[in-house]
Structure 1
Amino acid sequence: MYTNNDDEVTQRNFGEVKQEQVREITSESLFQKVSKQEYMFGSNNLMRHASEIFATHYQVINHSIDFSVDKLKMILSDGLTKFTIRCQQDGIGDNLLKSAKYILCAFIDEAILATEYGQNIHWSQQSMLGSNFNESWGGETFFKIRLFCLDNISEYIEVFELIYICLCLGFKGQFSSKTNGKLMLDRLKRESYDVICQYRDLHDDASIAKHWQTDYEPKAPIKYKHTFSIFFGVILAILLVIYRSFIFYKSSRTTCFERY
């Protein structure tokens, strides 16, 4: 299904995005929305149905989980089962559902394996990808699915939005080992944001804008014209004072001379 060349991900030119222009959505804010069933994409059923997976992700990356490997696997398996049932009840197609499940499995696996806890419980041998797709790592296929969604955006917009959120929450995949992987990921997020806005006909004041924000504000350029005007104005004022003082001094000398 996903036949895109691996290199296509890195060959595309997404335009320049400086690293300081990116502020990723925090897991805490997402968890709060998960708890309240308030998702960033109100019309996205996949996001709404994956609440258990995102809630567990929040616990994992905040080191607030100490389950045994069996309990963690049970929680995630139960969450994925509920996700599947909810999607099927909503009439979501098998191919779309399979893609979404793969994304969620790759997402949660990477988060767990990035922690000391995940290493201690040997999660690589118990991973969700291994259990559901017989794969040990999804760092490349994740981005192949993204490209597939991009090429079939009208049908796969919800999966594409799901991928965007996973990227904003820190998924790196194959880019984790690349020299400029951070910049590449920032570009992918920027492109994803633009695609979603265009498809959803959203603008900067829409809800999606809250999940791609920037702290970067270019410094106002120095207005040399005004600076020079002020500078020469001050110089002119000083010269005027000197000139008036000189006239006054000369006038005083003339008056004194006429007296004698």
Structure 2
Amino acid sequence: MRPAPGARNVSSGIEPTPVQPRPQAAYNPSYVSGHSPIEPNTASFKAHYGLNPIVNAASTLIAVFAKTRSAVSHPDVSGLHQRLIGEIKTLEAELRDLGLKQEVQLSVRYLMCSVLDEAVLNTPWGTESAWAQRTLLSVFHGETSGGEKSFLILDRLRQSPSENLDVIELFYICLSLGFEGRYRLMNRGREALDQVRDELFSIIRRQRGDYERTLSPAWSGLGRTRNPLTEYIPLWVVVALMAAILFFSYSGLRYWLYASSSPVADDIAELVSNEK
């Protein structure tokens, strides 16, 4: 029986259960630059700069999740599975390098496994594949579905928002991109999920503070980069030149008016003389 993503997990614990992954086929880096419509080159999705180091570390998996949800097909589902296992192992190494607590590392890994499994298993090509028999969550945590426990983990994290802000932001991003978990099968689940997302946004805003409304608060102009013309030419020369231009303009306009009105004046004079 295939587990539906977002279904309730029978485990009653909150902490993700770490298990040793079973031996996998060798991870092939060349697959990263293959011709899959979902991930043309995930190296280009990697974020190296940002306020949140956990989101930076998970940026490749986040990008794959966003693309997978809207993909109508995939040419190599088995290859995608192997590649994501390799990407999750890379995420684990980066989280360790950040010096994070073990429970934080497990929470992040659990979330990303749940998110990616849900994305694949809610596509036509994912449900027709063998993914449900070997989900990412089963590989790394020995569980079949994380739709329920993911939100139990989130509830625990929300109890100490200042300490867990980076993971809370990762949850917020995943929810914003379409992760539903246990709310997928609930009545009015969308409304409840929107409320959870709004609450996370409020937590993040309180912890991070209001965003900077000025685009560049320390901006200053370049100042005067060119010397004005008066530093090279005396002011009286400029005034004289302008006066000459005005004089010749006036003279030219007067001549044009005289030349234009002379024929009319001659005609009027001729009419007057004929009447006499």
- Aligned twin of 2:206: 198
Q: Distance in 1 between matches of 2:214 and 2:73?
A: 34
Question: How far has the Cα of 1:93 moved from its partner?
Answer: 1.6
1:27-62 deviations in whole A, cap 9, x for unaligned?
A: x9xx99x726277xx221111011221232133123
Q: Which runs of 5+ in 1 are unaligned?
A: 4-27, 208-260
Match of 1:66 among 74, 83, 90: 74
What is the SS of the residue equivalent to 1:155?
Answer: coil
> Counterpart of 1:173 in structure 2: which amino acid?
G
1:101-158 deviations in whole A, cap 9, x for unaligned?
A: 0011101110111100111113111211010111111111011011111002122111
Distance 1:108 1:80, change over 3 A: same
Residue pair 1:113, 1:124 contacting (<8 A) in 2 also: yes
Distance 1:175 1:75, change over 3 A: same
- Aligned twin of 2:65: 57
> Counterpart of 1:114 in structure 2: which amino acid?
N
Higher relative contact order (CA 8 A, sep 6+): 1
> Counterpart of 2:47 in structure 1: which amino acid?
Q
Residue pair 2:137, 2:146 contacting (<8 A) in 1 also: yes
1:166-199 deviations in whole A, cap 9, x for unaligned?
A: 1111111111111111110111111100000001
- Aligned twin of 1:46: 54
Are 1:132 and 2:144 counterparts?
no
Write out aligned runs for 1:147-162 (5 A).
147-162=155-170
Q: What TM-score results when the alignment is normalised by the length of structure 1?
A: 0.62
What is the SS of the residue equivalent to 2:138?
Answer: helix
Distance 1:107 1:205, change over 3 A: farther
Residue pair 2:45, 2:60 contacting (<8 A) in 1 also: no
RMSD: 2.8
Tell me the number of residue pairs that the alignment of Structure 1 and Structure 2 aligns. 179
Q: Which has the higher helix share?
A: 1
Residue pair 1:127, 1:136 contacting (<8 A) in 2 also: yes
Q: What TM-score results when the alignment is normalised by the length of structure 2?
A: 0.59
> Counterpart of 2:158 in structure 1: which amino acid?
L
- Aligned twin of 1:146: 154
- Bigger Rg over Cα: 2
- Aligned twin of 1:86: 94
